[in-house]
C-alpha cells in the first residue's frame, strides 16, 4: 500500500508541477479540469446515479461547465459575491448536513444531491483556476492551509485526542485535533509571512494579504475559519461515503482512493479564500 501511495504521488507531482509553474495559467486549469471531472464521475456514483454511462456523462458535463467558465476567468477576479455565496452555502448547508448525519443524506432527493455536487465541484475548480491567475505563491498558500490543518490535526489527535468530533461520521477525528489544526495553520501563516519578508515571489500569499487587510487579529480569526471549513469539507465527504456504504470515492488513485478523497477539504476552502481577499 505504501509503495502504491508513493508511486501515485510521484506520478501526480510529475504532471502537476510543470502545469502549476507554466508561464500561462492555462495548463494548470486544464489539468485540474480533468481531475475535477473525475471527481464529478465519483460524485455521481456515490449518489445513486445508476449505470456507467450516466456517471460518465456527469463527469463530461462538469468538464464542459468548467471549460465554458475558462472563457470568463479574467472577469472572475472581482466576483466577490460568488465566492461569498459559496462560502455561506458551505457554512449553512455543510452544518445542516453534518447535523443530520449519514442517515439524513439519502433523504434528500437524488436529483438535488446530484446538482449540489456539480455546483460544489464547479465552484471549487473555478476558485482554484482563479487563484492560479493571482499567482503561484498565492495558490500554494491556499492549498497549504488544508495540508497544514490536516497534518497538524492528525498528529495532535493521535497524541491528545479524547473528545470525539463526529463519531457517527469519522470516529478518528477529535476536538483536540481541530485545535491542533488551527495551531498548524497559524504557524504556517507566520512562517510564510516571514519568508515573504526575506525573498520575492510572483504574488503575495493568502496570509500576507489577510494580515495587511485585517491585521494580526483578523489573521487569527481567518485561520480558525479556514481550518473549520477544511474539517467541514472532510467530514461532508465522509458522510456521503458512509451513506453510500463506500470506503473510498473510487480507486482512480492507487493507494489514495479517489479524487474526492484527496480534494474534499479543499472544496469549501478555495472559494472562502477568494471571498476573504475580496474584503
Comparing 38-42, 56-60, 242-246, 252-256, the range with the smallest average pLDDT is 252-256
**Cell numbers at residue 44, please?**
455521481
pLDDT digits (tens, 9 = 90+) for 221-270: 999 999 999 999 999 999 999 998 988 888 888 877 889 999 999 999 99
Give the residue, 244 or 9, on which the prediction is more confident. 244
Helix (H, G, I), strand (E, B) or coil at 251: coil
Higher-confidence residue: 269 or 2?
269
d(CA 111, CA 244): 15
Burial class (CB in 10 A: 0-12, 13-18, 19+), 8: middle
pLDDT value of residue 78: 57
What's residue 4's pLDDT? 77
> To 5 degrees, how large is the angle CA 258–CA 259–CA 261?
70
- Give pLDDT, residue 74: 57
Rounded CA separation 76/80 (Å): 8
More confident call, 153 vs 161: 153
Give the CA dihedral 235, 181, 185, 238, nearest 10 degrees.
-10
Amino acid at each position: 500500500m505504501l509503495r502504491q501511495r508513493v508511486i501515485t504521488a510521484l506520478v501526480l507531482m510529475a504532471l502537476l508541477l510543470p502545469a502549476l509553474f507554466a508561464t500561462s495559467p492555462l495548463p494548470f486549469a486544464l489539468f485540474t479540469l480533468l481531475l475535477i471531472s473525475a471527481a464529478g464521475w465519483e460524485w455521481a456514483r456515490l449518489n445513486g446515479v445508476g449505470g456507467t454511462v450516466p456517471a460518465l456523462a456527469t463527469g463530461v458535463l462538469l468538464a464542459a461547465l468548467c471549460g465554458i467558465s475558462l472563457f470568463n476567468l479574467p472577469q472572475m477576479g472581482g466576483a466577490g459575491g460568488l465566492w461569498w455565496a459559496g462560502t455561506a452555502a458551505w457554512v449553512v448547508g455543510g452544518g445542516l448536513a453534518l447535523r443530520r448525519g449519514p442517515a439524513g443524506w439519502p433523504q434528500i432527493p437524488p436529483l438535488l444531491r446530484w446538482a449540489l455536487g456539480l455546483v460544489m465541484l464547479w465552484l471549487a475548480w473555478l476558485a482554484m483556476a482563479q487563484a492560479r491567475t493571482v499567482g503561484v505563491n498565492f495558490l500554494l498558500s491556499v492549498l497549504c492551509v488544508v495540508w497544514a490543518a490536516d497534518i497538524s490535526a492528525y498528529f495532535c489527535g493521535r497524541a491528545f485526542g479524547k473528545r470525539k468530533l463526529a463519531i457517527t461520521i469519522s470516529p478518528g477525528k477529535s476536538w483536540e485535533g481541530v485545535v491542533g489544526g488551527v495551531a498548524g495553520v497559524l504557524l504556517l501563516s507566520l512562517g510564510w509571512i516571514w519568508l515573504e519578508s526575506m525573498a520575492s515571489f510572483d504574488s503575495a500569499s493568502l496570509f500576507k494579504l489577510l494580515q495587511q487587510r485585517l491585521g494580526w487579529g483578523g489573521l487569527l480569526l481567518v485561520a480558525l475559519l479556514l481550518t473549520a471549513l477544511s474539517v467541514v469539507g472532510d467530514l461532508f465527504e465522509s458522510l456521503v461515503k458512509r451513506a453510500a456504504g463506500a470506503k473510498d470515492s473510487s480507486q482512480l488513485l492507487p493507494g489514495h482512493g479517489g479524487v474526492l478523497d484527496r480534494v474534499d477539504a479543499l472544496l469549501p476552502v478555495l472559494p472562502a479564500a477568494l471571498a476573504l481577499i475580496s474584503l
